[in-house]
Amino acid sequence: MAVGVAKIKSAGAAQSPLLGFAMFSPAVLYILLLIGAPFVLAIFYAFSDARIGSTNLHYVGLENFRSIIQSPSFRKAVWNSIIFTVCAQIIVLVCSNILSIALEKPFRGRGLVRFLLLLPWVAPVSLGTIGWKWILDSIYSVITWVLIWLGFVNRFTPPMWLGEEKLAMASVILVHCWRLIPFSTVILLAGRTAIPKEIPEAAAIDGAGFWRTLFQINLPMMVPILGVAVLFGTIFTFTDMTVVYILTNGGPYDSTQTLPNLAFTQGIQGSDLAAGAAISVFLVPVLVVIAYLMLRVAHRAEVN
Protein backbone atom coordinates (compact mmCIF):
# COMPACT_ATOMS: atom_id res chain seq x y z
CA MET A 1 0.00 0.00 0.00
CA ALA A 2 2.88 2.34 0.76
CA VAL A 3 4.23 1.67 -2.72
CA GLY A 4 0.85 2.61 -4.26
CA VAL A 5 0.70 5.86 -2.31
CA ALA A 6 4.23 6.71 -3.41
CA LYS A 7 3.29 6.09 -7.06
CA ILE A 8 0.24 8.34 -6.74
CA LYS A 9 2.34 11.12 -5.19
CA SER A 10 4.98 10.82 -7.91
CA ALA A 11 2.31 10.95 -10.61
CA GLY A 12 0.76 14.03 -9.00
CA ALA A 13 4.16 15.71 -8.76
CA ALA A 14 4.76 14.98 -12.44
CA GLN A 15 1.38 16.43 -13.43
CA SER A 16 1.54 19.53 -11.23
CA PRO A 17 3.82 21.54 -13.58
CA LEU A 18 1.53 20.75 -16.50
CA LEU A 19 -1.54 21.66 -14.45
CA GLY A 20 0.05 24.92 -13.35
CA PHE A 21 0.99 25.78 -16.94
CA ALA A 22 -2.52 24.97 -18.17
CA MET A 23 -4.10 27.22 -15.55
CA PHE A 24 -1.61 30.03 -16.09
CA SER A 25 -1.60 29.97 -19.89
CA PRO A 26 -4.97 31.79 -20.44
CA ALA A 27 -3.67 34.83 -18.57
CA VAL A 28 -0.43 34.77 -20.56
CA LEU A 29 -2.34 34.39 -23.81
CA TYR A 30 -4.63 37.28 -22.85
CA ILE A 31 -1.67 39.56 -22.16
CA LEU A 32 0.13 38.56 -25.36
CA LEU A 33 -2.90 39.04 -27.62
CA LEU A 34 -4.49 42.16 -26.12
CA ILE A 35 -1.40 43.98 -24.81
CA GLY A 36 1.77 42.50 -26.28
CA ALA A 37 0.68 42.32 -29.93
CA PRO A 38 -0.68 45.92 -30.12
CA PHE A 39 2.41 47.18 -28.30
CA VAL A 40 4.78 45.50 -30.77
CA LEU A 41 2.67 46.78 -33.67
CA ALA A 42 2.78 50.33 -32.25
CA ILE A 43 6.58 50.18 -32.05
CA PHE A 44 6.70 48.91 -35.64
CA TYR A 45 4.44 51.74 -36.85
CA ALA A 46 6.39 54.37 -34.86
CA PHE A 47 9.51 53.71 -36.95
CA SER A 48 7.67 53.62 -40.27
CA ASP A 49 5.58 55.92 -42.47
CA ALA A 50 2.35 53.99 -41.99
CA ARG A 51 -0.85 55.77 -42.95
CA ILE A 52 -4.47 54.67 -43.13
CA GLY A 53 -5.32 53.61 -46.68
CA SER A 54 -1.70 53.09 -47.71
CA THR A 55 -0.26 49.60 -48.22
CA ASN A 56 3.37 50.72 -48.56
CA LEU A 57 5.57 50.81 -45.46
CA HIS A 58 9.06 52.22 -45.27
CA TYR A 59 11.49 52.41 -42.38
CA VAL A 60 12.06 56.08 -41.40
CA GLY A 61 14.05 55.66 -38.18
CA LEU A 62 13.51 58.40 -35.60
CA GLU A 63 11.88 60.82 -38.04
CA ASN A 64 8.43 60.48 -36.47
CA PHE A 65 9.80 61.22 -33.00
CA ARG A 66 11.71 64.27 -34.28
CA SER A 67 8.56 65.50 -36.00
CA ILE A 68 6.29 65.21 -32.97
CA ILE A 69 8.85 66.76 -30.61
CA GLN A 70 9.06 69.82 -32.87
CA SER A 71 5.26 70.10 -32.98
CA PRO A 72 3.74 72.87 -30.78
CA SER A 73 0.65 70.70 -30.26
CA PHE A 74 2.79 67.90 -28.84
CA ARG A 75 4.63 70.19 -26.42
CA LYS A 76 1.30 71.68 -25.34
CA ALA A 77 -0.13 68.19 -24.86
CA VAL A 78 2.84 67.15 -22.68
CA TRP A 79 2.38 70.18 -20.44
CA ASN A 80 -1.39 69.67 -20.26
CA SER A 81 -0.92 66.00 -19.38
CA ILE A 82 1.38 66.94 -16.50
CA ILE A 83 -1.05 69.59 -15.21
CA PHE A 84 -3.99 67.24 -15.66
CA THR A 85 -2.29 64.38 -13.80
CA VAL A 86 -0.78 66.38 -10.92
CA CYS A 87 -3.88 68.45 -10.17
CA ALA A 88 -6.18 65.44 -10.43
CA GLN A 89 -4.04 63.35 -8.08
CA ILE A 90 -3.87 66.09 -5.45
CA ILE A 91 -7.66 66.50 -5.48
CA VAL A 92 -8.25 62.73 -5.50
CA LEU A 93 -5.89 62.08 -2.58
CA VAL A 94 -7.39 64.82 -0.42
CA CYS A 95 -11.01 63.85 -1.15
CA SER A 96 -10.43 60.10 -0.86
CA ASN A 97 -8.67 60.54 2.49
CA ILE A 98 -11.61 62.57 3.80
CA LEU A 99 -14.11 59.99 2.54
CA SER A 100 -12.13 57.05 3.92
CA ILE A 101 -12.03 58.68 7.36
CA ALA A 102 -15.78 59.41 7.21
CA LEU A 103 -16.67 55.88 6.08
CA GLU A 104 -14.28 53.97 8.33
CA LYS A 105 -16.46 53.82 11.45
CA PRO A 106 -19.90 52.18 11.23
CA PHE A 107 -23.00 54.36 11.13
CA ARG A 108 -26.56 53.92 9.99
CA GLY A 109 -26.77 53.80 6.20
CA ARG A 110 -23.03 53.31 5.66
CA GLY A 111 -23.62 50.46 3.21
CA LEU A 112 -25.89 52.64 1.07
CA VAL A 113 -23.37 55.50 1.14
CA ARG A 114 -20.58 53.16 0.05
CA PHE A 115 -22.77 51.83 -2.77
CA LEU A 116 -23.58 55.33 -4.01
CA LEU A 117 -19.92 56.27 -3.73
CA LEU A 118 -18.90 53.43 -6.05
CA LEU A 119 -21.41 54.30 -8.77
CA PRO A 120 -19.17 56.80 -10.64
CA TRP A 121 -16.45 54.14 -10.88
CA VAL A 122 -18.79 51.27 -11.76
CA ALA A 123 -20.83 53.17 -14.35
CA PRO A 124 -19.47 53.29 -17.93
CA VAL A 125 -17.16 56.27 -18.23
CA SER A 126 -18.70 57.33 -21.55
CA LEU A 127 -22.22 57.58 -20.07
CA GLY A 128 -21.04 59.49 -17.02
CA THR A 129 -18.99 61.90 -19.12
CA ILE A 130 -21.89 62.54 -21.51
CA GLY A 131 -24.02 63.38 -18.49
CA TRP A 132 -21.38 65.84 -17.32
CA LYS A 133 -21.27 67.36 -20.82
CA TRP A 134 -24.94 68.26 -20.44
CA ILE A 135 -24.36 69.54 -16.90
CA LEU A 136 -21.58 71.81 -18.22
CA ASP A 137 -23.43 72.85 -21.38
CA SER A 138 -23.17 76.54 -22.22
CA ILE A 139 -26.99 76.94 -22.41
CA TYR A 140 -28.56 74.16 -20.33
CA SER A 141 -25.98 73.92 -17.54
CA VAL A 142 -27.58 73.15 -14.17
CA ILE A 143 -24.51 74.60 -12.44
CA THR A 144 -24.93 77.89 -14.30
CA TRP A 145 -28.63 78.10 -13.41
CA VAL A 146 -27.85 77.56 -9.72
CA LEU A 147 -25.11 80.20 -9.77
CA ILE A 148 -27.45 82.65 -11.50
CA TRP A 149 -30.18 81.95 -8.93
CA LEU A 150 -27.70 82.54 -6.09
CA GLY A 151 -26.56 85.79 -7.70
CA PHE A 152 -22.94 84.77 -8.33
CA VAL A 153 -23.22 84.88 -12.13
CA ASN A 154 -24.77 87.37 -14.52
CA ARG A 155 -27.47 85.66 -16.58
CA PHE A 156 -26.42 87.63 -19.68
CA THR A 157 -22.75 86.61 -19.47
CA PRO A 158 -22.77 83.02 -18.17
CA PRO A 159 -19.49 81.12 -17.94
CA MET A 160 -18.60 78.89 -20.87
CA TRP A 161 -17.44 75.86 -18.88
CA LEU A 162 -16.11 73.98 -21.91
CA GLY A 163 -15.48 76.99 -24.15
CA GLU A 164 -12.93 78.97 -22.13
CA GLU A 165 -9.39 77.67 -21.78
CA LYS A 166 -8.98 77.75 -17.99
CA LEU A 167 -12.56 76.72 -17.26
CA ALA A 168 -12.30 73.86 -19.76
CA MET A 169 -9.20 72.44 -18.10
CA ALA A 170 -10.74 72.82 -14.65
CA SER A 171 -13.92 71.07 -15.85
CA VAL A 172 -11.99 68.16 -17.36
CA ILE A 173 -9.95 67.72 -14.16
CA LEU A 174 -13.03 67.80 -11.90
CA VAL A 175 -14.96 65.29 -14.03
CA HIS A 176 -11.98 62.93 -14.03
CA CYS A 177 -11.65 63.32 -10.25
CA TRP A 178 -15.36 62.54 -9.85
CA ARG A 179 -14.72 59.26 -11.61
CA LEU A 180 -11.44 58.36 -9.87
CA ILE A 181 -12.22 59.30 -6.25
CA PRO A 182 -14.30 56.14 -5.53
CA PHE A 183 -11.46 53.85 -6.63
CA SER A 184 -8.91 55.66 -4.47
CA THR A 185 -11.32 55.73 -1.52
CA VAL A 186 -11.74 51.95 -1.61
CA ILE A 187 -7.95 51.49 -1.60
CA LEU A 188 -7.48 53.87 1.33
CA LEU A 189 -10.35 52.26 3.27
CA ALA A 190 -8.58 48.93 2.97
CA GLY A 191 -5.36 50.54 4.16
CA ARG A 192 -7.00 52.18 7.16
CA THR A 193 -8.64 48.94 8.30
CA ALA A 194 -5.19 47.28 8.23
CA ILE A 195 -3.80 49.69 10.84
CA PRO A 196 -3.70 47.98 14.26
CA LYS A 197 -6.33 49.54 16.50
CA GLU A 198 -3.98 49.48 19.47
CA ILE A 199 -1.73 52.18 18.01
CA PRO A 200 -4.37 54.95 17.62
CA GLU A 201 -5.89 53.97 20.96
CA ALA A 202 -2.51 54.27 22.69
CA ALA A 203 -1.98 57.64 21.03
CA ALA A 204 -5.38 58.82 22.23
CA ILE A 205 -4.52 57.75 25.78
CA ASP A 206 -1.29 59.74 25.53
CA GLY A 207 -3.29 62.84 24.58
CA ALA A 208 -2.85 62.87 20.79
CA GLY A 209 -5.71 64.63 19.05
CA PHE A 210 -7.30 63.91 15.68
CA TRP A 211 -4.85 65.89 13.53
CA ARG A 212 -1.75 64.63 15.34
CA THR A 213 -2.94 61.03 15.06
CA LEU A 214 -3.72 61.54 11.38
CA PHE A 215 -0.42 63.12 10.32
CA GLN A 216 1.97 61.36 12.70
CA ILE A 217 0.47 57.86 12.89
CA ASN A 218 -2.16 57.00 10.28
CA LEU A 219 -0.70 58.64 7.18
CA PRO A 220 2.92 57.48 7.80
CA MET A 221 1.69 53.92 8.27
CA MET A 222 -0.36 54.16 5.08
CA VAL A 223 2.47 55.36 2.84
CA PRO A 224 2.67 52.02 0.92
CA ILE A 225 -1.11 52.10 0.36
CA LEU A 226 -0.96 55.75 -0.66
CA GLY A 227 1.83 54.87 -3.08
CA VAL A 228 -0.34 52.21 -4.70
CA ALA A 229 -3.28 54.62 -4.97
CA VAL A 230 -1.08 57.32 -6.50
CA LEU A 231 0.53 54.84 -8.88
CA PHE A 232 -2.76 53.52 -10.25
CA GLY A 233 -4.30 57.00 -10.27
CA THR A 234 -1.36 58.47 -12.17
CA ILE A 235 -1.42 55.71 -14.78
CA PHE A 236 -5.20 55.97 -15.19
CA THR A 237 -5.03 59.76 -15.49
CA PHE A 238 -1.98 60.01 -17.75
CA THR A 239 -3.38 57.43 -20.18
CA ASP A 240 -7.05 58.47 -20.07
CA MET A 241 -8.55 60.06 -23.16
CA THR A 242 -12.28 59.36 -22.75
CA VAL A 243 -13.08 62.35 -20.54
CA VAL A 244 -11.06 64.78 -22.67
CA TYR A 245 -12.36 63.37 -25.95
CA ILE A 246 -16.05 63.53 -24.98
CA LEU A 247 -15.99 66.88 -23.18
CA THR A 248 -13.66 69.03 -25.29
CA ASN A 249 -11.77 66.85 -27.79
CA GLY A 250 -8.66 68.79 -26.80
CA GLY A 251 -10.11 72.26 -27.29
CA PRO A 252 -10.48 75.12 -27.11
CA TYR A 253 -7.20 75.94 -28.89
CA ASP A 254 -5.48 72.78 -27.56
CA SER A 255 -5.95 74.03 -23.99
CA THR A 256 -7.09 70.56 -22.84
CA GLN A 257 -5.17 68.49 -25.36
CA THR A 258 -3.42 65.53 -23.72
CA LEU A 259 -1.04 62.93 -25.13
CA PRO A 260 -3.54 60.04 -25.43
CA ASN A 261 -6.11 62.26 -27.14
CA LEU A 262 -3.44 63.73 -29.42
CA ALA A 263 -2.31 60.22 -30.40
CA PHE A 264 -5.89 59.27 -31.27
CA THR A 265 -6.49 62.53 -33.15
CA GLN A 266 -3.39 62.26 -35.31
CA GLY A 267 -3.28 58.49 -35.65
CA ILE A 268 -6.95 57.65 -36.26
CA GLN A 269 -8.77 60.84 -37.16
CA GLY A 270 -5.79 62.29 -39.02
CA SER A 271 -4.93 58.95 -40.71
CA ASP A 272 -1.26 59.28 -39.68
CA LEU A 273 -0.71 55.97 -37.92
CA ALA A 274 3.03 56.54 -37.64
CA ALA A 275 2.68 59.84 -35.73
CA GLY A 276 -0.03 58.43 -33.46
CA ALA A 277 2.09 55.36 -32.72
CA ALA A 278 5.13 57.53 -31.97
CA ILE A 279 3.13 59.56 -29.44
CA SER A 280 1.81 56.36 -27.85
CA VAL A 281 5.30 54.84 -27.62
CA PHE A 282 6.54 58.08 -26.05
CA LEU A 283 4.15 57.43 -23.14
CA VAL A 284 5.74 54.07 -22.29
CA PRO A 285 9.11 55.17 -20.81
CA VAL A 286 7.39 58.00 -18.93
CA LEU A 287 4.95 55.61 -17.26
CA VAL A 288 7.72 53.08 -16.56
CA VAL A 289 9.75 55.74 -14.73
CA ILE A 290 6.70 56.86 -12.74
CA ALA A 291 5.85 53.27 -11.79
CA TYR A 292 9.45 52.56 -10.75
CA LEU A 293 9.64 55.66 -8.54
CA MET A 294 6.27 54.97 -6.92
CA LEU A 295 7.10 51.33 -6.19
CA ARG A 296 10.51 52.33 -4.83
CA VAL A 297 8.92 54.80 -2.42
CA ALA A 298 6.38 52.17 -1.30
CA HIS A 299 9.15 49.58 -0.79
CA ARG A 300 11.23 51.96 1.32
CA ALA A 301 8.18 52.73 3.46
CA GLU A 302 7.56 49.00 4.00
CA VAL A 303 11.21 48.42 4.97
CA ASN A 304 11.23 51.32 7.39
As for how many domains the chain has, the answer is 1
**Residue 101, in any domain of the structure:** yes
**Residue 3, in any domain of the structure:** no
Residues with Cβ within 8 Å of 105's Cβ and at least 6 positions away in sequence, in order, are none
**Residue 23, in any domain of the structure:** no
**Residue 144, in any domain of the structure:** yes
Distance CA 280, CA 276 (A): 6
- Measured between alpha carbons, how far is residue 154 from residues 142, 143, 148, 149 in Å? 14, 13, 6, 9
Question: What domain range is 143 assigned to?
Answer: 67-303
- Local confidence pLDDT in tens for the 304 residues of the chain: 444 545 444 545 445 677 777 787 888 888 788 878 888 888 888 888 888 877 777 888 888 888 888 888 889 999 999 999 999 999 999 999 998 888 888 888 888 888 888 888 888 888 888 989 989 888 888 888 888 888 888 888 888 888 888 899 999 999 999 999 998 998 888 888 877 777 777 877 777 777 887 787 788 888 888 888 888 888 888 888 889 999 998 888 888 999 889 988 888 888 888 888 888 888 888 888 877 877 776 666 555 5
CATH number, residue 243 = 1.10.3720.10
**Residue 244, in any domain of the structure:** yes
Distance CA 80, CA 72 (A): 12
**Residue 46, in any domain of the structure:** no
**Residue 48, in any domain of the structure:** no
